[in-house]
A and B are shown apart, each in its own frame.
Chain A
Amino acid sequence: MAAQAPVTPSSPAAERAAALRRANLRVAVTLATIAAVFFVGIIGAHLIGGFDEGTSVLGIGVLLFLAIAIGRNVFGKR
């Protein structure tokens, strides 16, 4: 069987498209991770203890979420 040539981006447009796909995926994975942390976090907090733990986990989650959301924007502008 003849060996197939590896598929590589062959033009600047294809490279741009590949870079865009990577960037899209990066954003999606970050956001999905935040959602997963909130989902697991809220159940975990209740498994560990009561109101104080739950509120603390939620509070820290919200602060981290805001830090990531604002931080991404600030560093993105540099």
Chain B
Amino acid sequence: MSTVTPDQLGHGHDDHAHGHPTGIMRWVTTTNHKDIGTMYLWFSFTMFLVGGCMALTIRAELFEPGLQIVNPEFFNSMTTLHGLIMVFGAIMPAAVGFANWMIPMLIGAPDMAFARMNNWSFWLLPPAAILLVTSLFVPGGGPSAGWTMYPPLTIQNGMGMDLTIFAIHIMGASSIMGSINIITTILNLRAPGMTLMKMPLFCWAWLITAYLLIAVMPVLAGAVTMLLTDRHFGTSFFNAAGGGDPVLFQHVFWFFGHPEVYIIILPAFGIISEILPAFSRKPLFGYASMVYALAGIAILSFIVWAHHMFTTGLPTAGLLFFMYATMLIAVPTGVKVFNWLATMWRGSITFETPMLFCLGFLFLFTLGGFTGLVLSIMPVDIQLQDTYYVVAHFHYVMVAGSLFAFFAGVYYWIPKWTGTMYDERLGKIHFWSSLISFNVTFFPMHFLGLAGMPRRIPDYAQQFADWNMVASIGAFWFGLSQLIFLYAVLKCIFHKGEKAPAKPWDGATTLEWTVPSPAPYHTFETPPVIK
């Protein structure tokens, strides 16, 4: 990890504003990485609430057997848009928001390498989000083929599918531009003395994530472009009626889709790797092995995609290859979990809210990873394919994994962002309420899946009623818990709390803590020298 010499503290940053625009134009025209990071985070939280409302619609319908609230077509649109919005609108932009805010400050750079492109990357997102949401209101209804957009359903869907395809194109372009910016910033703008192997692990996690994005987002864009031409221009890439192969779409989609899982989780790993050492008051255990584990996970993610397709009739050799390759991912992931535990071992641990969310992440993500290992066993997966066991598995990874890490990151860095300490009592209530309600929602889904309840259905057999009721209660509880988070964040923004010192956490060692809180508008215009 990097250290900075005392004589550099406070050098090279100022908080004068150079006459930049104020009001709404500040946000529209800004090229400042902190402003853009803030916009990404708010956009992501807004989409989290929109996607969350869709999830609650799903859970309200599933509260008891039978059709109560929505018709099946709308239910299908809800499951589709919930997935797309959470993945492309909430989790990915949140990770980019953290990257924008923190990467320049962690490596001692004055801003991102391409500041104007950074602004453009963000402002592509709101139109894409509008396209996604308005797809619900066009003739033919919203997209209803699931977030995986498998043909032939997507070829048969109405105009909502076209809007979804355009939204994905736009979001993909935004992600690619963001990734180019992040890679260039990390490779070219590091402070003198900040070698790659001295970088904070969050930067490593994002460097690798950005490479993954560059490789797989164009593949998704290509796949949905082919869908579009199948729908409107008479091609038959995936249209069986014209000699195309629908299963081919699944290959291409999951070539994107599996690395996408790591695109979502690697930045979360980076955040956890910053926070655990700070609250354990020890350096991160096995820094180099953590970097190699990140790279190992990223490389393996390219060769496991067909484990999502065990029931499509692949040859036995293929099934075995993808099964063993998937199991192999447990090795670098295990290295990371071991190193996080070893970091805490004999540390002077304190349990502030960021640390609580890290521990919640560690416990629940490991559980989600373990059910992933169960699903990688091909004969088991053939039984559990498209059941609620899969829904439980990926929500343990996506929500308890990524989302909990992002909550940890917000509580950890919000003193630096706003200059005000968050309300510790509210933070702890938010943590415990989220932790318990999350498990009330998703743990019963393991039982439902093992009992054979299929996913993406608005009605179900009577024997699944009890656990569905429990899951629905948990979902509404989890949703309401997030209002506590919103209140805690707003309190910081409106400075209703203690003033934050430059370095509120004893064990924090990275560069952002060398500047005052809140961080000045411009930081490290003269780069610090890292010893």
Q: List A residues at the B interface (Cβ < 8 Å).
A: 20, 23-24, 27-28, 31-32, 34-43, 46, 50-51, 54-55, 58, 61-62, 65-66, 69, 73
Contact = CB atoms under 8 A, between A and B. Distances in A.
A62 B252 contact: no
A40 B304 CA distance: 23
Q: Nearest 7 pairs between A and B by C-beta?
A: A42-B222, A39-B218, A38-B218, A27-B184, A35-B218, A24-B113, A31-B180
Nearest to B196: A73
A12 B222 CA distance: 45
B219 interface: yes
Nearest to B173: A35
A65 B222 CA distance: 17
B184 A39 contact: no
B352 interface: no
Contacts of B226: 43, 46
B428 interface: no
Given A43-B222, A51-B248, A69-B211, A35 B176 contact: yes
B222 A28 contact: no
12 contacts: A24-B113, A28-B113, A28-B180, A31-B179, A31-B214, A35-B176, A38-B219, A42-B223, A50-B248, A51-B248, A54-B252, A69-B211
A34 B215 contact: yes
A19 to B, nearest CB: 10
- A interface secondary structure, majority: helix
Nearest to A76: B187
Interface residues of B, number: 31
Nearest to B185: A24
Contact of A20 (B188, B221, B248): B188
A24 B114 contact: yes
B94 interface: no
B248 A31 contact: no
A46 B211 contact: no
Given A42-B223, A51-B251, A34 B214 contact: yes
Contacts of A31: 179-180, 183-184, 214
Interface string B297-320: 001001000000000000000000
B237 interface: yes
B245 interface: yes
Contacts of B196: 73
Given A54-B252, A62-B215, A73-B196, 12 more contacts: A28-B113, A34-B215, A42-B223, A42-B252, A43-B225, A43-B226, A51-B248, A54-B248, A54-B251, A61-B215, A65-B215, A66-B299
Interface in B108-136: 113-114
User: Which of the listed residues B179, B189, B211, B215 has the most CB atoms from chain A within 10 Å of its own CB?
Assistant: B215
B217 A35 contact: yes
Given A34-B214, A46-B248, A62-B215, A27 B222 contact: no
A28 B255 contact: no
A28 B180 CA distance: 6
Contacts of B248: 46, 50-51, 54
Nearest to A70: B295
Given A28-B180, A54-B252, A42 B218 contact: yes
A39 B215 contact: no
B325 to A, nearest CB: 14
A66 B208 CA distance: 11
Nearest to A39: B218
B219 A58 contact: yes
Given A38-B222, A58-B219, A46 B184 contact: no
Contacts of A69: 211
